[in-house]
């Protein structure tokens, strides 16, 4: 059983202790706006240039937000593990931890869509590969861990059911969006492995969310 530690009296310590895991959803939202802008919805020629610029701005902003929110997210596990674990076992708040891998995976997707406009191929490929790999592993781990917590926690019942439970499995469905674009840049055997991993995570996401 996780015991509650006293909330630090200093403002920075208190902010870190109470830092909400759902904040990383802002990374997902910011990055996806960049993807949508880069696609130029409607295909209007006059909007291609400004929307392309907006896509780049939103991608850069998403990376900044990822760092600003990622640092306290990780530091909370180091300095306030009891508070982090208490939130993880919460039937509502716990599912929001999946926004962390979700944000990383959407960053990978946004980098694929917008990155070529500002990044050389030598940087783009390893960056997307790193984001997709880390995000994919964390997404799978989060979905399994949170599902187990829901099954073994006595306080979880019908009255605590909420839509947030779909977040952990759904982030697995984002994994192929980061892996598939890597296939043209790798050898045949690695490409097959990435394809299998893409189908597997896509299927896992649907299976766990059903």
Which pLDDT belongs to residue 203?
87
- How much is the pLDDT for 1? 43
Rg (CA), the chain: 19
- pLDDT score at 143: 87
For the chain, what are the domain ranges? 15-209
Instruction: Split the chain (210 residues) into runs of 10 and give each run's mean pLDDT.
Output: 55 82 94 94 88 95 96 93 90 90 95 93 93 94 85 68 80 91 92 93 75
Length of the chain: 210
Cβ atoms of residues 86 and 123 within 8 Å: no
Record: fold of 15-209: Glycosyltransferase (1.50.10)
């Amino acid at each position: 059983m996780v015991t509650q530690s006293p909330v630090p009296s200093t403002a920075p310590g208190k902010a870190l202790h109470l830092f909400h895991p759902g904040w990383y959803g802002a990374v997902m939202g910011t990055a996806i706006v960049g993807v949508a802008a880069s696609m130029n919805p409607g295909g209007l020629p006059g909007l291609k240039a400004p929307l392309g610029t907006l896509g780049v701005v939103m991608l850069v902003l998403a990376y900044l937000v990822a760092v600003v929110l990622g640092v306290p997210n990780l530091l909370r596990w180091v300095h306030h593990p009891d508070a982090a674990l208490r939130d993880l076992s919460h039937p509502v708040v716990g599912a929001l931890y999946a926004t962390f891998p979700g944000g990383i995976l959407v960053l990978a997707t946004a980098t694929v869509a917008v990155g070529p406009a500002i990044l050389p191929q030598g940087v783009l490929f390893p960056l997307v590969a790193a984001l997709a790999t880390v995000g994919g592993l964390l997404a799978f781990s989060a979905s399994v861990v949170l599902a187990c917590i829901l099954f073994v926690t006595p306080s979880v019942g019908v009255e605590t059911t909420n839509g947030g439970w779909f977040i952990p499995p759904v982030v697995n469905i984002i994994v192929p969006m980061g892996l598939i674009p890597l296939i043209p840049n790798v050898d045949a055997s690695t490409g097959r492995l990435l394809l299998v991993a893409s189908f597997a995570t896509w299927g896992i996401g649907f299976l766990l969310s059903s």
